[in-house]
Chain A
């Protein structure tokens, strides 16, 4: 059996970074969201959010659509199929990890 520390090292760092995990979690709960909503939800600056979204887009986890509504530019972000699978797997891994930590703690207490 792997220890929780080994399992933690196996987590995808691209997804596990807190801001990106928050972005992907929000996206998994909707069909699409706009840039302003993500900014207000995460509290990231415009530049920071843009950087995180670019990384996620490069990894093909999100799709970004830019268009105009009148004169106002609107940026809409979608989760790709690959992104959906990745975030679902990641959450499963985290749940599993939490269970493993509890089990590991009990084993440690028992061996003391």
Chain B
């Protein structure tokens, strides 16, 4: 029964577990935050480095997509379920972002929702994502960070921390996926039956 739960969970959440997909873009955003904090006055070098890191992140994302297709295979999910979920997640996250930016509350609603979301994902995985409770706690801590940070550097500092968390999350999700699947054999070019 446990094995079958694992099989069902991996198949249903296959794309979300391809953690390396989020690593390049979050590394890029992390680098952008670092640059903004290091060069607060801007300048051509900062603009060039920001552009370079974003282009590099996009190229790496495309490469990672190919890597997963080649070595892990492809799963097409049930379309309707995904779109309903994604719509709700996008609406909730944008609403939270709106509240954070315009109301300037002493706590970040976006980080708080992210913390609850991580706890929920851990719950539905029935223990298959053991690192998610830690993520929930970290996001909970980020949620109260606005109390301690000056307004002008608040968002860059928070984005920097969120970037670091997501890079590690991506790597751990990938490791979880890798350890749940059997090793890839190199004679897999002959993909016929």
Pair A40/B193 contact, Cβ less than 8 Å: no
- A89 on interface, CB distance cutoff 8 Å: no
Which residues of A, 14-70, contact B by the 8 Å Cβ criterion?
Answer: 21-22, 25-43, 46, 49-50, 53-54, 64, 66
For B188, the closest partner residue in chain A by CB is A36
Pair A25/B7 contact, Cβ less than 8 Å: yes
- B12 on interface, CB distance cutoff 8 Å: yes
- Chain B interface (Cβ < 8 Å from any Cβ of A): 3-4, 7-8, 10-12, 14, 72-79, 181-184, 187-193
Q: Would A36 and B4 be within 8 Å (CB), given that A64-B193, A72-B191, A75-B193 are in contact?
A: no
The docked-state distance in angstroms from the alpha carbon of A74 to that of B74 is 10
For B177, the closest partner residue in chain A by CB is A40
Pair B189/A72 contact, Cβ less than 8 Å: yes
Q: Would A34 and B193 be within 8 Å (CB), given that A26-B8, A41-B182 are in contact?
A: no
Pair B8/A25 contact, Cβ less than 8 Å: yes
Interface of A (DSSP majority class): helix
Nearest 3 pairs between A and B by C-beta?
A: A37-B73, A36-B73, A43-B182
- Chain A interface (Cβ < 8 Å from any Cβ of B): 21-22, 25-43, 46, 49-50, 53-54, 64, 66, 72-76
Pair B11/A26 contact, Cβ less than 8 Å: yes
Pair B72/A22 contact, Cβ less than 8 Å: no
* Cβ contacts A to B, 5 pairs, < 8 Å: A29-B12, A37-B14, A46-B190, A46-B193, A72-B191
List residues of chain B with CB within 8 A of the CB of A38: 73
The docked-state distance in angstroms from the alpha carbon of A76 to that of B73 is 10
Pair B191/A73 contact, Cβ less than 8 Å: yes
Pair B193/A41 contact, Cβ less than 8 Å: no
Query: Which residue among B11, B78, B181 has the maximum number of chain A CB atoms within 10 Å of its CB?
Result: B11
Pair B76/A39 contact, Cβ less than 8 Å: no
Pair A35/B73 contact, Cβ less than 8 Å: yes
A105 to chain B, nearest CB (A): 17
List residues of chain B with CB within 8 A of the CB of A28: 8
Q: A21, A37, A41, A73: which contacts B192 (Cβ < 8 A)? A: A73
List residues of chain B with CB within 8 A of the CB of A46: 187-188, 190, 193
List residues of chain A with CB within 8 A of the CB of B14: 30, 37
Q: B12, B72, B193: which contacts A37 (Cβ < 8 A)? A: B72
List residues of chain A with CB within 8 A of the CB of B74: 33-34, 36-37, 76
Pair A75/B188 contact, Cβ less than 8 Å: no
List residues of chain A with CB within 8 A of the CB of B182: 39-43
A66 to chain B, nearest CB (A): 7
The docked-state distance in angstroms from the alpha carbon of A33 to that of B11 is 9
The docked-state distance in angstroms from the alpha carbon of A55 to that of B155 is 57
For B79, the closest partner residue in chain A by CB is A31
For A22, the closest partner residue in chain B by CB is B7
For A32, the closest partner residue in chain B by CB is B76
